[in-house]
Amino acid sequence: MSIKRKKKKSGCVGFAVVVLIVVLCVAVFIYSDMFSKIRIGIEHQLYPLKYEQEIIKAGEEYGLEPELIAAVIYAESRFQEDATSSVGARGLMQLMPETFQWLCDKRGEEHSSDELYDPYINIDYGAFCLSWLYEHFGDIYTACAAYNAGIGTVEEWLEDETYTNDGVTLSYIPYGETSNYVAKIQNAVSKYNELYFDNNQY
């Protein structure tokens, strides 16, 4: 009799262990899914996105990845349409009025500088500017550096072997602000691709 009781008790313990393991697995699954959703929610707050369709359209028109355009907007204004810098850059992609007029002349169009606060015009011209810089320099992050520091400044860097190994890409950016700016865009490109544009058909 005592042997049978021990077998029954052992069977109950084994069943309890199995149930406990199942419960723990379910709990881990539920909580990992919950924490994953919380993490994604926080990242959406940290990397907001507005005007998605306009960004995709501009990317298609000018041959740029939408996550790059979104990353530049994030780095420039964090999607604040009425943003104005201390030096006078305006709107989502922080175009200077004189740069805007130069771009308008290239396209044979007329706009007032106040229209830079129009998100649709700002995105369109900002993406056009990035596309022109990309074509001019041949590297997208060199183009981003020029978007921040100016065309002439970056051209000088590319003539100096201290800053480049191939005359196209920048191995070292001497301006701390521009170096941080490009790094910020590179990180944001990865985040915007992961959060919004991964496997997006555009």
Q: Is 156 a catalytic residue?
A: no
Rounding to the nearest 10 degrees, give the CA dihedral for residues 87, 91, 97, 102: 130
Distant-in-sequence, close-in-space partners of 101: CB < 8 Å, separation ≥ 6: 113
Note the helical H segments in 47-118.
Answer: 52-62, 66-77, 97-107
Which DSSP state fits 159?
A: T
Residue 167 CA: distances (Å) to CA of 41, 152, 159, 162, 172: 41, 14, 7, 10, 12
- Active-site position among 54, 65, 67, 76: 76
Buried b (16+ CB within 10 A) or exposed e, 118-132: ebebbbbbbbbbbbb
Catalytic residues: 76
